[in-house]
């Protein structure tokens, strides 16, 4: 796999201790495809998606290609929340060569399937939101067609644009929906934080066509938590496994300025953390990724720290690692 780059240990730095008090001391850098050691224990596997070709095709601000390494560098100094028996791996990055987004997504799918096969919970770090098409297909490769997959997307955008003129960062869920239709499989997709000022009318029509569940950004807040919980419960109960994808441009730019499509009108971290906690408590969460982090436009590492804190929250709360579904 020529666009696979093994992990770089120098991305992981921070304070030192004698008992792995920090993530950079806990993490193990392992070549996913020629690892000299066998993955023996359940754990978390971080895989970078160093690609912003989809953002470029979608006329967004390029720079997300540098997101994975910056997030790793920000995550490393944070406290280690994991038990000694739970492993944490950096499996390197999948990069986009020769502007070939499609091959990059295929190789990501292969990587995600292998991480799951190796008994690890994948954490993808983008890169554009086109990460979602590769990530979903990797889960599908692992589970097969006998298990239903529910996608929960924290995002301002549906990302249901047609891929007629080539896939991009705005097309992944349209592509998944088409694949499901072709294979007579259910398309279970819930969007949390949809903004009316960020989606043209045709995307709402496409969402209706594919029976997409969604919550408007104006309703995605703590004041509406009971209704949000009811929607989450209904969605979680109808699927076997859940894949969560977090588009960082769904957050208000007050929290996430370093993204491909920033806006002050996004949601806040508190409602995302509460929703994530509920999803994790269902014991159906099988995989997660974060997308659209663009270090070029970040301020004081603010967005990198937000992304790292979201990953840290999942590491801290996801005790069951229920990945052999």
- Let me know the angle formed at the C-alpha of 194 by 102 and 251, rounded to the nearest 5 degrees: 85
Question: Tens of pLDDT along 87-140?
Answer: 999 999 999 999 999 999 999 999 999 999 988 999 999 999 999 999 999 999
Residue 208 falls inside a structural domain? no
Residue 163 falls inside a structural domain? no
Is residue 247 a known part of a binding site? yes
Residue 301 falls inside a structural domain? yes
Query: Do the Cβ atoms of 6 and 90 come closer than 8 Å?
Result: no
Q: Tell me the DSSP string of 23-48.
A: HHHH-EE--TTT-SS---S-EEEEEE
Residue 131 falls inside a structural domain? yes
d(CA 311, CA 288) in angstroms, rounded, equals: 9
d(CA 62, CA 260) in angstroms, rounded, equals: 7
Which CATH number belongs to the domain containing residue 21 in this structure? 3.40.800.10
Question: Tens of pLDDT along 46-75?
Answer: 999 999 999 999 999 999 999 999 999 999
Instruction: Count structural domains, the chain.
Output: 1
- Going by pLDDT thresholds of 50, 70 and 90, the confidence category of residue 325 is very low
> Residue 82 sits in which domain range?
4-144+241-317
d(CA 311, CA 325) in angstroms, rounded, equals: 22
Residue 178 falls inside a structural domain? no
Residue 309 falls inside a structural domain? yes
Residue 91 falls inside a structural domain? yes
Is residue 277 a known part of a binding site? no
Is residue 155 a known part of a binding site? yes
Question: Tens of pLDDT along 189-232?
Answer: 999 999 999 999 999 999 999 999 999 999 999 999 999 999 99
Q: Is the pLDDT higher at 85 or at 321?
A: 85
Token match 């990501």: residue? 108
Is residue 159 a known part of a binding site? yes
């Amino acid at each position: 796999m020529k666009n696979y780059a093994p992990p770089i240990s120098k991305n992981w730095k921070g304070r030192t201790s004698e008992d792995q008090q920090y993530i950079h001391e806990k993490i193990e850098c392992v070549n996913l495809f020629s690892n000299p050691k066998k993955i023996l224990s359940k754990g978390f596997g971080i895989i970078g998606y160093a690609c912003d070709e989809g953002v470029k095709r979608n006329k967004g601000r390029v720079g997300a290609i540098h997101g994975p390494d910056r997030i790793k560098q920000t995550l490393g100094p944070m406290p280690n929340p994991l038990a000694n028996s739970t492993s944490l791996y950096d499996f390197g990055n999948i990069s986009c060569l020769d502007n070939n987004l499609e091959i990059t997504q295929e190789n990501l799918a292969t990587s995600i399937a292998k991480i799951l096969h190796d008994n690890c919970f994948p954490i993808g770090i983008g890169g554009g939101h086109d990460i979602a098409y590769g990530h979903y297909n990797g889960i599908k490769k692992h589970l097969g067609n006998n298990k239903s997959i529910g996608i929960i997307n924290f995002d301002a955008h549906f990302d249901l644009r047609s891929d007629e003129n080539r896939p991009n960062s705005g097309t992944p869920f349209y592509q998944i929906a088409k694949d499901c239709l072709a294979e007579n499989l259910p398309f279970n997709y819930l969007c949390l934080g949809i903004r009316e000022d960020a989606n043209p009318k045709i995307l709402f029509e496409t969402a209706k066509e594919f029976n997409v569940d969604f919550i408007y950004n104006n309703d995605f807040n703590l004041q509406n938590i009971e209704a949000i919980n009811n929607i989450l419960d209904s969605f979680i109960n109808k699927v076997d496994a859940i894949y969560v994808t977090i588009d960082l441009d769904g957050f208000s730019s007050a929290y996430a300025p370093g993204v491909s499509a920033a806006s002050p009108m996004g949601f806040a971290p508190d409602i995302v953390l509460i929703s994530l906690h509920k999803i994790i408590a269902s014991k159906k969460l099988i995989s997660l990724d974060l997308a659209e982090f663009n270090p070029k436009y970040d301020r004081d590492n603010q967005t990198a720290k937000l992304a790292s804190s979201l990953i840290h929250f999942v590491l801290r709360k996801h005790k069951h690692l229920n990945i052999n579904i």
